[in-house]
């Protein structure tokens, strides 16, 4: 099967030796798309699953990979896009994201979390009255088409590299659900460890299970770990910051919001001995823009030495 968005697989020999395991990364941050993340594959598949549309509405944080990727795709296709955003519009990094939306021809509004749904509904009905064929794309692209697309590419990657264990950042769970369904279709079945970036197990497992079911595996066991969330979405502590530094110092760009939490979990599992001698695949979901946002907000002190892992 020809893959629309082939994920490059990079062996990470030096970093793997440092951690005592055979390590590779599935690099969705390197898909051929501006500021790429896994969302590229999910959103492209979701848009392809819709009937003819000429306008889309969605929601997300100001720096959201979901919103930025959708704005790019809408501009490519000549579809109108309206973004209902939450966050702090006056922060330097937010201003860069908002600027990009404007360059892409998207419109947006920044609202309080409790007003997101009504803002979406209002824009949809306005556009419908203007006879536009409008689709509302679920936040984070947690949709059946996205989960199936993540599954299809993961089957190809798992067949190619043969991991024993796969570690991935998990938010709404669409990516993890796809990976879990892929694991059920290859032999031997790898263990898929989802590292929550926001939700606790109680809230987070259901949406992962739903995504796995959409991708054809309703009964798969779900390993969704919530002990690496630090302060919640977009917040992180020292251990995650150290994992981010370890990645960068080995040429692997990570961010605190998504990939750094997953990579920190991977290093913890490695240090506990659980991964000894295993072939471990780190599914890199993207996040360079998230890193840049935090770096702009918090530049390093001049002259301060970075510790090396």
Ligand X SMILES: *Cc1c(COP(=O)(O)O)cnc(C)c1O
Site for ligand X (CB under 6 A): how many residues? 16
CA distance 75 to 67: 12
Give me the DSSP letters along 38-98.
Answer: THHHHHHHHHHHS-S-SEEEEEEETT-HHHHHHHHHHHHHT-EEEEEEES-TTSHHHHHHH
C-beta closer to ligand X: residue 97 or 170: 170
Cβ atoms < 10 Å from Cβ of 130: 9
Cβ of residue 231: shortest distance to ligand X, in angstroms? 17
Q: How far apart are CA 159 and CA 190, in angstroms?
A: 10
Given 81, 83, 84, 175, the residue binding ligand X (CB under 6 A): 175
- Positions 242 through 281 that interact with ligand X (CB under 6 A): 258
- State in angstroms the smallest separation of the CB of 70 from ligand X: 12
Total number of residues shown for the chain: 309
224 vs 265: CA distance, rounded Å = 12
Choose, by CB under 6 A, the member of 170, 217, 293, 294 that binds ligand X. Answer: 170
In whole angstroms, the minimum distance from the beta carbon of 305 to ligand X comes to: 29
Planar angle of CA 280, 286, 290, nearest 5 degrees: 130
Among 22, 97, 172, 217, binds ligand X (CB under 6 A): 172
Q: How far apart are CA 130 and CA 53, in angstroms?
A: 13
Contact range with ligand X by CB under 6 A, out of 12-20, 108-116, 222-230, 284-292: 284-292
- Binding ligand X by CB under 6 A: which of 173, 190, 247, 256? 173
Binding-site string for ligand X from residue 205 to residue 244, where x marks contact by CB under 6 A and - marks none: ----------------------------------------
Q: 30-89: which residues touch ligand X (CB under 6 A)?
A: 37, 39, 65
Pairing of strands 9-11, 22-27: antiparallel
Least distance CB 60 / ligand X (angstroms) = 9
CB of 37 to ligand X, least distance (A): 4
Nearer to ligand X, 247 or 286 (CB): 286
**CB 234 to ligand X: min, Å:** 12
Let me know if 300 is exposed, middle or buried by CB neighbors in 10 A (0-12, 13-18, 19+). Answer: exposed
Q: Is 276 exposed, middle or buried (0-12, 13-18, 19+ CB in 10 A)?
A: exposed
Contact segment (CB under 6 A) with ligand X among 86-94, 163-171, 226-234, 273-281 equals 163-171
C-alpha to C-alpha distance for 164 and 181, rounded to whole angstroms:
15
Instruction: Check binding of 294 to ligand X (CB under 6 A).
Output: no
- Binding residues for ligand X (CB under 6 A): 37, 39, 65, 140, 169-176, 258, 285-287
């Amino acid at each position: 099967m020809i893959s629309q968005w082939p994920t490059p697989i990079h062996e990470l020999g030096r970093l793997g030796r440092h951690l005592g395991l055979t390590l590779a990364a599935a690099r969705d941050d390197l898909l051929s798309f501006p500021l790429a993340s896994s969302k590229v594959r999910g959103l492209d598949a979701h848009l392809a699953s819709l009937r003819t549309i000429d306008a889309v509405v969605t929601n997300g944080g100001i720096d959201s990979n979901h919103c930025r990727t959708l704005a790019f795709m809408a501009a490519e296709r000549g579809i109108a896009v309206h973004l209902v955003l939450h966050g702090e519009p006056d922060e330097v990094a937010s201003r860069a994201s908002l600027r990009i939306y404007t360059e892409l021809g998207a419109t947006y509004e920044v609202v309080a979390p409790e007003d997101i749904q009504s803002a979406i509904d209002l824009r949809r009905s306005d556009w419908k009255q203007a006879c536009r064929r409008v689709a509302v794309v679920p936040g984070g692209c947690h949709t059946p088409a996205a989960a199936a697309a993540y599954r299809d590419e993961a089957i190809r990657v798992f067949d190619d590299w043969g991991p024993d264990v796969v570690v991935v950042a998990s938010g709404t769970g669409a990516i993890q659900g796809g990976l879990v369904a892929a694991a059920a279709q290859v032999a031997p079945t790898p263990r898929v460890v989802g590292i929550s970036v926001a939700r606790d197990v109680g809230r987070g497992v259901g949406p992962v299970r739903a995504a796995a079911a959409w991708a054809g595996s309703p009964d798969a066991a779900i390993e969704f770990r919530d002990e690496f969330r630090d302060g919640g979405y977009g917040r992180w502590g020292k251990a995650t910051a150290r994992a981010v530094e370890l990645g960068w110092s080995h040429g692997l760009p990570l961010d605190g919001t998504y990939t750094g939490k997953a990579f920190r979990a991977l290093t913890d599992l490695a240090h506990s001995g659980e991964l000894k001698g295993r072939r471990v695949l780190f599914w890199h979901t993207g996040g360079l823009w998230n890193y840049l946002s935090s770096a702009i907000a918090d530049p390093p002190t001049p002259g301060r030495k970075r510790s090396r892992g």
